[in-house]
Amino acid sequence: MPFFLCRLLPPRPTFPADMTGEEARLMQDHAAYWQRAADKGEAVIVGPVLDPAGVWGLAIVEVSDPAAASALTEFDPLIRSGRGFRYDIHPIPQAILRTTHQPSPL
């Protein structure tokens, strides 16, 4: 199955430093939504990226096609909230995956 990089862009450059209470609740719903996607095997990795140019969210998903990747992002509570969050979705045409997880020696 193909992989897609879903980049979640926040509603403003200062997010999450100035997150409102409502946005904090939406972020909890967002995390729970993506945990369910991970539990179903659709999301491979999800989390924030601490980019010096501005924080953004990352989801690498393994789904059947671009429409399935788009559907996952469209049902994210942050998107459904209409508060200015948006996703850019990019196909990953090739990927090297580890075969097993080895604990770090540190």
C-alpha span between 18 and 21 (Å, rounded): 10
Does domain 3-92 fall under CATH 3.30.70.1060? My reply is: yes
Residue range 8-27, pLDDT digits in tens: 999 999 999 999 999 999 99
* DSSP assignments along 34-57, one per residue: HHHHHHTTSEEEEEEE--TT--EE
Residue 103 has pLDDT above 80, yes or no: no
What pLDDT sits at residue 79? 98
pTM score:
0.89
Residue range 42-88, pLDDT digits in tens: 999 999 999 999 999 999 999 999 999 999 999 999 999 999 999 99
Provide the token pair at 37. Answer: 């996607």
